[in-house]
Amino acid sequence: MTITVKVSEAKTRLSELLAKVEAGEEVIISRGNDPIAKLTRIQQQNDVAAVIAEIKAIRSRAKPVTLEEILAWRHEGHRY
């Protein structure tokens, strides 16, 4: 997920925005309607905590899956 904030808002919410970046989100900083910078997490090699945080961030944005969908996927691509 990408969040867009204006420069003044980024100044006052920097800690909060950095926490979102650590969780895998991107933050675009704009001046007026013009984007001027992007905050993204720096990936470290073998950074297990970062990978787990990124997976949790992705899963939190996913919609719940129903049992019917799971059963449909189970037989997807099968020929009868």
Domain ranges within the chain, ordered by starting residue? 2-74
Q: Does the global pTM surpass 0.75?
A: no
pLDDT (0 to 100) of residue 36? 97
pLDDT at position 30: 96
Residue 5 · residue 29 · CB < 8 Å: yes
16's torsion region: left (phi>0), alpha (psi -120 to 50) or beta? Answer: alpha
Q: What is the DSSP letter of 44?
A: P
pLDDT of residue 59: 86
DSSP 8-state symbol, 64:
P
Q: At which residue do the structure tokens 């991107």 appear? A: 26
Q: Which residues of the chain are modeled with pLDDT < 50? A: none
Top CATH class, 2-74 = alpha beta
